[in-house]
Chains A and B, each alone.
Chain A
Amino acid sequence: MTTVIETRVEDRPRKIVGELDGADKAYRFTLRLSGVFMLSVTGLVALFLLFRGWQALRVAGWSFFTTTVWQPDGHKFGIVGLLTGTALIGLVAMVIAIPLSFGMALYISEYAPARLKRPMITVVDLAAAVPSIVYGLWGFWFLQEHVYPISRWLFTYFGWVPLFHVDRADPHDPYNSLTVYSASTFIAGIVVALMVTPVTSSIMREAFSQAPLGEREGAYALGATRWGMIRAVVLPYGKGGIIGGSMLGLGRALGETIAVFYIISITFVLQPNILQAGGVSVSSLIAATVGSATPFTISALFAAALALFLVTMALNFLAATFISRSRSGSEV
């Protein structure tokens, strides 16, 4: 009897993968090839950033992370001043951009009359498509002189805060030129804020418009005002979008080159006074100095670019996590 069982053919799951013909094999191969191409471009960029940056990092050692001045040819350079300058621009930009984009997103998703909704979305998209050089022109030639009085006011009343201090400025001296407030981190930050607002606000708007209708109507039925409904329904649902959009905007703000390069006058030392002329960001420093740089300076710039890239990439990933969580509807 046992022999019968042993000779019985076992059931095996049938292979259900279809055979691919030649064209489809070539097709899949081409698709994979394009993926490999994308990966290798990224790999090359990363490799170059690491490799060229490494030469400078080896010379500078740990002092790269503690030095506040930028004099690569004197082998005295560090990232602290650059990153502080970049972060200050990002800070000014976000302090302005977050309320602006929050208001714009709320307006489009909650307040705008139905016939204005699509045009307003188009306006925001258009603002995102305007080249950065155009914002730079506007900031430098048009906005700057209108910001001087604000800078002076901030200095007059808050000059005791280190952030708002300005050297050589005296609001009570009529001969004191307003140009001490020109080309400052503050002005660059305002312009960058306007550039990132469209990006941030469209992500917030998407998140807000996903707040479910049932809950909205429930809030109204319980007697909530519109603002009450927004507080109780829209904002909790849009939390992920607010955080994610802001982070994405911050990443954009830190990487912004041309508008900053156009407006700010670059300093090579740590300059923490945002109202004062002069400031620096990693990308504007690269734009300004790479053309006439020695190989070693270029290597130092690569090290700085690597630091910037890592920061913006981390922000991007964090933002993507928050945004996708808010899209899937789970709690943040």
Chain B
Amino acid sequence: MTAVVDAPVVAVDPPQLVEPEPQLRRRTSSFRPDDAYAFVGALLASLSVTTSTYTTLAPFSGPVGFVVIAWFAFVLLYALLVSVSHPGQAVKDKVAAVVVQSIAALLVVALVTTVGYLFYRAWAAMTHLNFYTKDMGDARPTDSVANGLVRAGILHGIVATLEQITISTLITVPVGLTCAVLLNEIPGRFSRIVRTVTEAMTALPSIVAGLFIFTTYILLLGRPKSGFAAALALSIMMLPIIIRAADVVLRLVPGTLKEASLALGAGNLRTLWQVTLPTARSGLATAVILGMARGIGETSPVLITAGVATHLNTNPFTGPQPSLPLLTLLLTRSSSNSYVARGFGAGGTLLVVVLVLFIAARIIGGRGAGNLSPRQQRRAAAASRRDVARWEQRQHVPTTPLDEPNVVVLDPPPTSS
């Protein structure tokens, strides 16, 4: 029985509070020091191997070759090092990650060198104010670069580019947007045909657009090469681009919005004007701007339609009017150093214009139909606050005549205005 007596004593004994093990936060990061060692080791090893064998053992030369060999050596060595401590699947995974990331890096480097090299070569011309205020009437091939930049610039190219892109935008935007609306608002066989044909036209090589204008406008109608001809060629190229981009944007407008408008009794035109287009506004602007950027940079249609001139020509309808990309092409193929410098300057100016358009498109667009920018949201919020204030004001206005206190008149429901 003692055992029975003893047992409760043991049970009553206050349970020892075991100090809990301090819980360590488990690391969920997939990073391990091993991997970093393998990476750095492989990098160093590949560099050493390539440096020691590159010029002595193997018949290679040039920096590009060095990078290529070093990269292959790196991938091999890295795979080898990783396989020491990891199973086959993990080795594959790590090698794939390295390959994919280096491809991404390579492309970024390629873009940076493309843009950077152009600006590096264009720097001398683009920092010269005369470059933007003079045409090439006084240019001489024998000038040194410094003298040449004082004497002549590319004003005629800038004017030509601006005029041509304006004309083609004036042509393509109304037609293109109307066509995109057609594709979305009147679905049916006709729209399907137009959409298919538009798709086909985006495959049209730009030179063929130029060739078409060259044979019709210039050869058949007997008109001289001019800025207008170039603008027509650009329009043929830009039209399908704008239609397709706008078509995609308009498709994103919620059907419920349009149906609500129609249910309220608005007609098709009013729905388009008050609902569809405002909702898709930013996307449409992006579509147009990107189309313009494509058109501005296009050289080949201009090459055979705009003609060549050295003087400023502000009239797009008569006389040759070479645009910036065409000047870039022609001048950089020249054998005169000052011409080449000017050509690079024209290319740099062109790229600046394209970049400005691109950034504008990013700022305006980049959000879906109906999504407001922070600024628009603030504006909408302010409008709604004003509405609230107005309703509250309205409720304080005594609507009940004072001499009839027993009649309860409900406040009129707030109406939005």
Contacts and interface: CB of A to CB of B under 8 A. Distances in A.
A305 interface: yes
Contacts of A145: 62
Contact of A149 (B60, B240, B325): B60
A308 B205 contact: yes
A309 B100 contact: no
A58 interface: no
B216 interface: yes
Contact of A286 (B211, B298, B328, B351): B211
Contact of B325 (A31, A131, A146, A254): A131
Contacts of A21: 267
B248 to A, nearest CB: 12
B268 interface: yes
Interface residues of B, number: 93
| Most B Cβ at <10 Å: residue of A24, A102, A227, A254 | A227
A27 B90 CA distance: 62
Contacts of B114: 130, 134-135, 138, 194
Given A41-B236, A131-B325, A107 B100 contact: yes
Interface range on chain A (Cβ under 8 Å from partner)? 35 or more
A332 interface: no
Interface stretch (A1-9, A32-40, A66-74): A32-40
A24 B271 CA distance: 10
B285 to A, nearest CB: 16
A184 B202 CA distance: 28
Interface string B107-134: 1101101110110010000000000000
Contacts of A127: 107, 111
Interface stretch (B14-22, B182-190, B378-386): B182-190
B59 A111 contact: no
Given A42-B201, A138-B113, A262-B329, A305 B211 contact: yes
B194 A257 contact: no
A276 interface: no
Interface in B55-111: 59-65, 68, 89-90, 92-93, 96-97, 99-104, 106-108, 110-111
Contacts of A110: 100
Nearest to B69: A153
Nearest to A312: B203
Given A100-B107, A141-B121, A316-B202, A227 B92 contact: yes
Nearest to B193: A39
Contacts of B203: 251, 255, 309, 312-313, 315-316
A133 B297 contact: yes
A321 to B, nearest CB: 11
B281 interface: no
A52 to B, nearest CB: 6
A257 B207 contact: yes
Interface string B247-283: 0000000000000000000011110100000000000
Given A38-B198, A107-B103, A129-B293, A312 B190 contact: no
B351 A130 contact: yes
A291 B268 CA distance: 49
B411 interface: no
Contact of A137 (B102, B212, B300, B347): B347
A249 B194 CA distance: 23
Given A131-B297, A138-B118, A126 B59 contact: no
A28 B200 contact: no
B154 to A, nearest CB: 14
B101 A111 contact: yes
A297 interface: no
B299 interface: yes
Main secondary structure of the interface of A (DSSP, over half): helix
A226 B97 contact: yes
| Most B Cβ at <10 Å: residue of A26, A31, A254 | A31
Given A31-B178, A286-B211, A255 B205 contact: yes
B168 to A, nearest CB: 13
Nearest to B65: A149
A197 B110 CA distance: 11
Contacts of B207: 255, 257, 283, 286-287, 305
A108 B104 CA distance: 8
Contact of B101 (A39, A107, A315): A107
Interface in B330-361: 332-333, 344, 347, 350-351, 354-355, 358
A251 B200 CA distance: 11
Contacts of B200: 42, 313, 316-317
A141 to B, nearest CB: 7
A150 B179 CA distance: 49
A123 interface: yes
B347 A42 contact: no
Given A130-B115, A131-B296, A150 B92 contact: no
B304 A290 contact: yes
Contacts of A301: 211
Closest 5 pairs between A and B when the two form their complex, measured CB to CB: A131-B297, A103-B103, A255-B205, A225-B93, A149-B62
14 contacts: A20-B268, A27-B269, A31-B179, A31-B181, A103-B100, A122-B362, A227-B89, A227-B92, A290-B211, A301-B211, A308-B208, A313-B200, A316-B200, A317-B200
Given A27-B267, A108-B104, 8 more contacts: A32-B182, A38-B239, A111-B101, A123-B111, A130-B111, A282-B205, A298-B215, A317-B200
